[in-house]
Structures are given as structure tokens and as C-alpha cells.
């Protein structure tokens, strides 16, 4: 995977080259000075409109912290099922935190072949958002049987929050609305959601739709994904169809969510993606979701137009109307997550 080429700042969508489509790799260390930031912002703009996915290297996240979290995550998933159940999501209540077993999460109404742990911003009981009983806010559940897991998760989330703010500043620069646009309106107090997933090994003869998670898009602004070396992630590209997004050591995979596609009137793509684990071994995936504040009022970005007409621009594969941007992010998010865990949504969310 080679880095995306340095290009002048652009507002239109770049045409595809003759080479096979591949998700670009962007070096954030080049975003130094006005000229460097313009160039990196232009690369992000192109990748966001063409693919909705890109890799980032040259970030400031300590790779040792990633390795530590991978090791502790594998230790957790290796625990007996009854031990993992001690932090089951049913104990997380409205904070929506904890463990779920294989088949416990739905994508497009179908159970996924993965288990996982849900985390979020760690909040004290006297935090005003917890006192107000806002859904998805509160304390996390950590396994006592894996020493250091709590510290590793919270350190990692702090590092990825900082990286997310930098990425959104560059997104604002690429859109021509300024680096502080999203911070001022949406992300000064972001909604932070973090997952650690384990995809168990599947036999080679298993059907493709029984090897991971079905095709879907994400809800919010940005997803920052670290995947181990098992691979299996695929993204759907307008021109090519399904393309692989293999692990690139030391990098994060970034993908744009539905909310950023809607705020940009379809200029940026929230691309369908899926996981098919054909590696013959288990796969660890760690997606971090960086989204608007729970009470942020949603408004389209004035003056931003689609990069080019494409099929499904206004009415997507799922019927989502990109012109319908209103209300608060919290209301929007509650409607989404309650479909993933219908029983928990019925018991704990409004």
C-alpha cells in the first residue's frame, strides 16, 4: 500500500486512475505548516469522496499502547464464557457498556459471528450527564480477571480522541470551512464509543455470510479502526465493487459515517463495509467511534455540494434521505443503537 500522492487543494472529486482501486494511505506527519496541511487535507478530501475510507500513518499514537491492548484483549476473550458474562451488557444499564457473546449483536437484522466489549467515555456518577440519566453515558465495566485492562482501554481512548480531533480539523480544512468548524459546532464534547471485537475462527467451508459481520455503514462522523493481522475487512467501491482493506502495520483505517455523509450533502461517502474472516484463526478488531456531542443540533454545512453525481446520492442503498438533517445527535443515535440490541433498547433506552 503506497501513500496517497500529494496534490493541490481541490474541491471537486478526482477521477479514478487506470490502476485498480485501492484505499489510499495518508501520512499525517506531512501535515506541517500551511502548505503541508493543505496537501494532506486535499488527500483526505479526495479519499473521503471517492472511497469513504483511508489509512493514516505518521500519527502520534504510541504503537506499544496498541500492542498492549491487543494482548490484554486476547487474554479477556480467552477467559471462560461464564467469567466474561460477569460484565455482560445487561449489567451496564443505560450506559450501554459491557460484554456480549457471539451472535449477541445484530447487523441489518442478522446476528454477527463475533463477540465483543462495549466501552465509552469513563464518567463519574456525579457527572451532570450521568445525573441527567443521558443514555450511553456512565461508567465502563472492566474484567477484574485481566489486570491492566482498564488503564489500557482508557489510555488508548485518550490517544484516539486526540487523533480524531486532528482528523476532523483536516476534514474542515479540506471542505473549505476552517479547521475549527466541527470543534465549534459538534465535537468539543464528543460522543465517544469504543469496541473491542473478537471474530472466532471459522472453518474454510463456512458460508461467507457466516464468517464475520454483514455489510453495513457506521452511524456518526469518524471510525478509527485498528485491526490485527488476520485481515478480512472489505469496503464497497462505486466503480469496482468489493475491495480488500488489508492490515497495514502501524496504521489506522479511517472510515466516514452516515452523519458526515449527511452533513456534507453526500459529498463524502459513508461506504458499505463488511468482515469475512477467512484466515482460519480468530481476529481482533478495535473500532473507535468519534461522533458529535449528544446534545449537538444537526445542520447541513452551508455551501458544501456533492463532489459528483453518483447513483444513490440522495436515496442510498438503505433509503436514507441525505437531505434529512435535523434534531440532535443523541436522538439520532438512540434510534440507531436500539436496533442493534433490541432487548437492551427496550429495557434501558427511551
Rounded distance between C-alpha atoms, residue 40 and residue 27, angstroms: 8
% of the chain with per-residue pLDDT over 70: 80
Structural domain includes residue 12: no
Does the structure show a pLDDT above 70 at 322? no
Q: Model's pTM, two decimal places?
A: 0.87
Residue 5 falls inside a structural domain:
no
CATH code for the domain of 311: 2.60.120.330
Residue 314 has pLDDT above 60, yes or no: no
Contact 174, 41 (CB under 8 A): yes
pLDDT of residue 215: 84
Question: 298 or 8: which carries more pLDDT confidence?
Answer: 298
Do the domain assignments include residue 15? no
What is the distance between the alpha carbons of residues 212 and 114, in angstroms, rounded to a whole number? 6
Give the pLDDT score at 208. 52
Whether residue 170 has pLDDT greater than 90 = yes
Among 40-49, 274-283, 313-322, where is mean pLDDT lowest?
313-322
pLDDT exceeds 70 at position 224: yes
Q: Which of 296, 350, 302, 349 is nearest to 327 (CA)?
A: 296
Question: What's the pLDDT band for 323 if we cut at 50, 70, 90?
Answer: low
pLDDT > 60? residue 226: yes
Mean pLDDT of all residues in 81-94: 93
Asked whether the predicted pLDDT for residue 5 surpasses 50, the reply is no
Q: How far is it, in rounded angstroms, from Cα 115 to Cα 105?
A: 8
Distance of CA 302 to the CA centre of its chain: 25
In a domain, 8, yes or no: no
Q: Is residue 278 part of a domain?
A: yes
Task: Order the strands of the 273-276 sheet from edge to edge.
Answer: 212-216, 273-276, 233-237, 241-244
Lowest average pLDDT, out of 139-153, 193-207, 255-269, goes to 193-207
**Confidence class of residue 311 from pLDDT cuts 50, 70 and 90?**
very low
d(CA 2, CA 13): 20
Average pLDDT over residues 130-152: 95
Provide the residue range defining the domain that includes 106: 25-348
- Whole-number Å distance between alpha carbons of 292 and 190: 5
How many structural domains comprise the chain? 1
pLDDT number for residue 254: 98
The predicted-structure confidence for 11-26, as pLDDT tens digits, reads as follows: 333 343 434 578 999 9
Mean pLDDT of the chain: 85
Domain presence at residue 20: no
Instruction: Say what the pLDDT of residue 105 is.
Output: 66
17 belongs to a structural domain: no
Work out the angle at residue 11's Cα, subtended by the Cα atoms of residues 294 and 49, and round it to the nearest 5 degrees: 55
**pLDDT for position 326:** 81
Q: Are strands 53-57 and 25-27 parallel, antiparallel or unpaired?
A: parallel
**What pLDDT, on the 0 to 100 scale, is given for residue 213?**
76
CA 233 to chain centre: 13
CB of 294 closer than 8 Å to CB of 129: yes
Q: What is the pLDDT of residue 200?
A: 85
Q: Can you point out the beta strands (E) in the chain?
A: 25-27, 53-57, 98-100, 106-107, 110-111, 115-120, 191-199, 212-216, 222-227, 233-237, 241-244, 252-256, 273-276, 283-291
Residues 164/224, Cβ–Cβ less than 8 Å: yes
Place of cell 449537538: 296
Flag whether pLDDT at 2 surpasses 50. no
* Residues facing residue 194 across a β-bridge: 119, 288
What are the DSSP E strand ranges found in 121-270? 191-199, 212-216, 222-227, 233-237, 241-244, 252-256
- Residue at 10 is within a domain: no
Amino acid at each position: 500500500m503506497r501513500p496517497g500522492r500529494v496534490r493541490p487543494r481541490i474541491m471537486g472529486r478526482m477521477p479514478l486512475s487506470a490502476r485498480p482501486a485501492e484505499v489510499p494511505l495518508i501520512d499525517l506527519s506531512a501535515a506541517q505548516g500551511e502548505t503541508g496541511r493543505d496537501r494532506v487535507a486535499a488527500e483526505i478530501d479526495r479519499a473521503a469522496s471517492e472511497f469513504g475510507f483511508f489509512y493514516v500513518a505518521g500519527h502520534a499514537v504510541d504503537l506499544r499502547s496498541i500492542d498492549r491492548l491487543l494482548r490484554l484483549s486476547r487474554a479477556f476473550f480467552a477467559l471462560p464464557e461464564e467469567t466474561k458474562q460477569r460484565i455482560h451488557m445487561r449489567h451496564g444499564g443505560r450506559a450501554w457498556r459491557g460484554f456480549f457473546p457471539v451472535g449477541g449483536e445484530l447487523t441489518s437484522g442478522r446476528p454477527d459471528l463475533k463477540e465483543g466489549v462495549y466501552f465509552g467515555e469513563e464518567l463519574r456518577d456525579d457527572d451532570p450527564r450521568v445525573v441527567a440519566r443521558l443514555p450511553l453515558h456512565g461508567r465502563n465495566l472492566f474484567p477484574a480477571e485481566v489486570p491492566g485492562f482498564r488503564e489500557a482501554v482508557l489510555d488508548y481512548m485518550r490517544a484516539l480522541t486526540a487523533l480524531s480531533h486532528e482528523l476532523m480539523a483536516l476534514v474542515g480544512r479540506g471542505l473549505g470551512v476552517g479547521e475549527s468548524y466541527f470543534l465549534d459546532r459538534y465535537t468539543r464534547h464528543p460522543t465517544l464509543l469504543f469496541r473491542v471485537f473478537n471474530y472466532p475462527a471459522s472453518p474454510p467451508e463456512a458460508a461467507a455470510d457466516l464468517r464475520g459481520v454483514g455489510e453495513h455503514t457506521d452511524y456518526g462522523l469518524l471510525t478509527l479502526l485498528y485491526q490485527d493481522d488476520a485481515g478480512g475487512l472489505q469496503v464497497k467501491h462505486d466503480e469496482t465493487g468489493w475491495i480488500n482493506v488489508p492490515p497495514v502495520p502501524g496504521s489506522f483505517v479511517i472510515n466516514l459515517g452516515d452523519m458526515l455523509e449527511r452533513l456534507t450533502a453526500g459529498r463524502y461517502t459513508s461506504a458499505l463495509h463488511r468482515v469475512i474472516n477467512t484466515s482460519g484463526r480468530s481476529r481482533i478488531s478495535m473500532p473507535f467511534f468519534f461522533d458529535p456531542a449528544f446534545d449537538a443540533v444537526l445542520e447541513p454545512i452551508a455551501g458544501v455540494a456533492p463532489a459528483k453525481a453518483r447513483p444513490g446520492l440522495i436515496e442510498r442503498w438503505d433509503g436514507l434521505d441525505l437531505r434529512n438533517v435535523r434534531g440532535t445527535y443523541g436522538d439520532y443515535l438512540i434510534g440507531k443503537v436500539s436496533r442493534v440490541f433490541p432487548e437492551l433498547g427496550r429495557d434501558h433506552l427511551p
